[in-house]
Structure formats: C-alpha cells, structure tokens
Amino acid sequence: MVKIAVFDFDGTIYTKDSLIEFCKFIYKKHPLRLRYLFIQFFALVAHKLTIISTTQFKERFLIYLKGIPKEQLLEYVKDFWKTETVNFNAEVMQLIASIQKENIALIAVTASPDFMFTLLPQDLGFSKWISTKTSYQEGKYKIVGENCRAGEKLTRLQQEFTGGFVMEYAVSDNHDDDILLQNARKSFKITHRKLQCV
C-alpha cells in the first residue's frame, strides 16, 4: 500500500482559479480573442441550467485557446506562472514541506487542464499531477474523458494506484472534494485561505 497525501490545486495550493486567471492572461495578450466571451457566457448559462455537463462546459470554455498550437500554449503557460506563484498559499506550502519529511507521496489532483502544470516553475515536490486530460484536435482543445472533479478524482487515484493506497492527508477548499476528505486519515479544509483540520 502506498501512503499518499492528496492536494487540490485551485483555491488550495493556488489561491485563485488557474483556468480563469490564465484566460484573463490570454485575453490581455490577445484582445481580439475577447469575441469568445460570448461562447463562454452561453456555455455558462447552459451549464447553470443543467443543459450541458461540467465537462462539456469546460470544453466550450477552452474555445478562447482556439488556434494556439500546443508548443505556443506551453510558452504562454510558462510566462503565466512566472508571476503567479506569488499566489501560492503560504500555510499550504508549509504543510507540503512538513509532509515531504515523511515517507508519503505528494499527489496533486485537480480539475484544471493538464497543460497548466507541464511547466510549473516551482518544484513543489509532487510525484504525480492528476488533472483533466486534454488533446489538441483541429485547432481546438478537447477534454479527454471526464472533467477531474468530485468522484472522478477518487476514480483517477484508484486508476493510478492499482496496488492500493492509504490516503494519509487530503487538503482542499472545495465541497466537491468531500469524498477525498472523508476517505483520508487527516483532512484539512481551506476556509478564507486558512487551513482548518476537519
């Protein structure tokens, strides 16, 4: 059995929502892409009305990256993180540092798309980054499989650790991750950017 510590990313390690912030970053670089806001807005309305799933919403939200090849996208991601690591939660970073001293694997599990973490400049000590899988097809970024949130996170962990695992720690700010917090030996909830043991 592998001992693991599971961390959410957005709102937990990173105090903001990386997908939203990266979208704003791209719009500042390419104002003409603001035309995609209409598609994003109608996708959000459809999602709120439960007409489309979260996975479908996220795929439509990614329309703002249309026509940006993967190599160029990763360069943008690299530039984005040069200024955004200052928004990492100090308390969570201290917890990560303390867990690193134990024989426990650090695992990040996030709903954000995989391309956001390929070139993360700061070595956080995580052995695995489990995220929403994407592929670049016909000039658009498509979601591969399901959006990595809620119960899907636990499913992805089970797929990664087929020999079994013991979740020593789980840390998140989101109610969607209650399934992880309930299955961990020690759980922390982020409330107003503060760590609270639950």
- pLDDT tens, residue by residue, 10-53: 999 999 999 999 999 999 999 999 999 999 999 999 999 999 99
Which tokens sit at 88? 């990492």
Q: How confident is the model at residue 103 (pLDDT cuts 50, 70, 90)?
A: confident
State the Cα–Cα distance between residues 171 and 195, nearest whole angstrom. Answer: 9
**68-95 pLDDT, tens per residue?**
999 999 999 999 999 999 999 999 999 9
How many helices (H) and strands (E) the chain has is answered by: 7, 7
DSSP 108: E
Q: Answer whether 0.75 is exceeded by the pTM.
A: yes
Closest by alpha carbon to 58, among 139, 112, 127, 98?
112
- Tell me the one-letter amino acid at 97: A
- Tell me the one-letter amino acid at 53: S
Q: What is the CA radius of gyration of the chain?
A: 17
Closest by alpha carbon to 141, among 114, 123, 168, 108?
114
Are 166 and 1 in contact by the 8 Å Cβ rule? The answer is yes
